């Protein structure tokens, strides 16, 4: 315990600030290996295109674009290509929730039902030999449960509840469960309906990945009195100068959006279809559902800048989004052993490495996540790194993300 506390202080400083100097720096010569790793996937037609960006101490140490943004249209991938970031949206929504917590408008242990009435008496579907029993939840779901994905709420694609969710326009009826960009209703209407459905585990008893952060997006709207897209724009993206992070793309920028591909026969990529399980509705709309769990578009540069703010203790270039102590909540395991028994925890918005080797070569204290379209990110406070990897491959049968991460970490030398 004393060692863990010492490590936390050495890594973040006394008040959540990064330590003054990283132990290792990135070798330009060794970073050339990243080029070879990524180019091979392009040459082998296993991915259409990628953008990779690595910051150390906020400065670009590696930034490359490979392959195609849209092979059929003849558009090359560029560093400013826009991507669907799916679950990487969760980091923005979690930041919004914690900003409102700092203002006293949301309490971490507050019941979600204070904001969404249908969550006052939730239920749980328990599998039995005869089918399912629907039983009352043992307690109310809290904001903390949602931030850590321990509320027992899935995406409704589980076999024993899928038909119930399908009937309410959720689960199998929503693309892969998480997709709402094609909905003609605001996100709060969708989440209010979700609250009437049975969940798959009791609150606080299991890590279950699902609609948790979409619910939080509605909570942000209720607590702030403004739509989620407006809150994120006015409180996060505009102050930080993130010009390409939004829920729907202006039609004039259609050609900046990367196409979605899928892993096909033999492991090579094929173009994904139109619709919710492929290209999506991020340009033509209907532009009514702002999904806090999976709805944003962004670029590698924008997302890295957002993460640099968090790595830097909640402030960047004189713009403070969160307080230092609040950032520590995000990057500290808040879910006990529910998320993993192999050295990974889950904080208020991120997966957190608690044991070296639990996630490749990521140092203890590294936090990150990814998105359904194949994008990933890691923030390593010990080495002052922000690592962003963008592609559009869904479903993905590729291991490119882990090989990219390993190639970045092997470049750290003293």
pLDDT of 232 reads 98
Mean pLDDT in residue range 395-399: 88
Distance CA 44, CA 268 (A): 8
Q: Is residue 9 predicted with pLDDT exceeding 80?
A: no
Q: Is residue 363 predicted with pLDDT exceeding 90?
A: yes
pLDDT per residue as tens digits for the range 215-253: 999 999 999 999 999 999 999 999 999 999 999 999 999
Mean pLDDT in residue range 318-335: 98
Report the alpha-carbon angle 329-98-60, nearest 5. Answer: 75
Mean pLDDT in residue range 182-209: 98
pLDDT per residue as tens digits for the range 150-165: 999 999 999 999 999 9
pTM: 0.95
Q: Are 108 and 142 in contact (CB under 8 A)?
A: yes
pLDDT of 153 reads 98
Mean pLDDT in residue range 368-388: 98
Backbone dihedral region for residue 185 (phi beyond 0: left; psi -120 to 50: alpha; all else: beta): beta
CATH numbers and ranges of domains, the chain: 2-81+249-269+299-413 (3.40.710.10), 94-229 (3.40.710.10)
DSSP 236-283: IIHHHT-TT-BSS--GGGGGGBPPPEEE-GGG-EEEPPSSTTTT-STT
């Amino acid at each position: 315990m004393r060692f863990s506390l010492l490590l936390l202080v050495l890594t973040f400083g006394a008040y959540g600030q990064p330590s003054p100097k990283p132990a290792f720096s990135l070798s330009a010569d060794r970073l050339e290996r990243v080029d070879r790793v990524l180019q091979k996937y392009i040459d082998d037609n296993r991915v259409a295109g990628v953008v990779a960006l690595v910051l150390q101490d906020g400065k670009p140490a590696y930034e490359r674009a490979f392959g195609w943004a849209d092979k059929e249209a003849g558009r090359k991938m560029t560093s400013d290509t826009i991507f669907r970031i799916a679950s990487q949206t969760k980091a923005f929504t979690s930041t919004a929730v914690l900003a409102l917590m700092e203002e006293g408008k949301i309490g971490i242990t507050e019941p979600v039902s204070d904001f969404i009435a249908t969550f006052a008496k939730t239920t749980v579907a328990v599998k039995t030999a005869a089918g399912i029993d629907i039983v009352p939840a043992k307690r109310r779901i809290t904001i903390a449960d949602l931030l850590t994905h321990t509320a027992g709420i899935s995406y409704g694609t589980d076999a024993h509840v899928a038909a119930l969710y399908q009937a309410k326009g959720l689960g199998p009826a929503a693309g892969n469960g998480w997709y709402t960009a094609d909905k003609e209703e605001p996100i709060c209407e969708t989440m209010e309906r979700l609250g009437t459905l049975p969940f798959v585990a009791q609150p606080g008893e299991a890590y279950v990945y699902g609609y948790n952060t979409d619910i939080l997006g509605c909570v942000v709207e209720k607590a702030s009195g403004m739509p989620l897209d407006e809150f994120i724009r006015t409180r996060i993206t505009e102050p930080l100068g993130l010009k390409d992070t939004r829920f729907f793309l202006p039609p004039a920028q259609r050609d900046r959006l990367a196409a979605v591909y899928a892993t096909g026969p033999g492991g090579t990529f094929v173009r994904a279809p139109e619709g919710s399980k492929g290209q999506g509705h991020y340009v033509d709309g209907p532009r009514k559902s702002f999904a806090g769990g999976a709805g944003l578009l962004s670029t590698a540069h924008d997302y890295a800048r957002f993460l640099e703010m968090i790595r830097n203790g909640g402030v960047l270039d004189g713009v403070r989004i969160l307080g230092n102590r609040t950032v520590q909540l995000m990057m500290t395991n808040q879910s006990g052993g529910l998320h993993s028994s192999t050295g990974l925890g889950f904080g208020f918005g991120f997966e957190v490495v608690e044991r070296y080797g639990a996630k490749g070569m990521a140092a203890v204290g590294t936090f990150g996540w990814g998105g359904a379209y194949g994008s990933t990110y890691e923030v390593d406070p010990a080495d002052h790194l922000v690592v962003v990897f963008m592609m559009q491959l869904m479903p993905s049968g590729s291991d490119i993300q882990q090989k990219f991460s390993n190639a970045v970490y092997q470049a750290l030398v003293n």
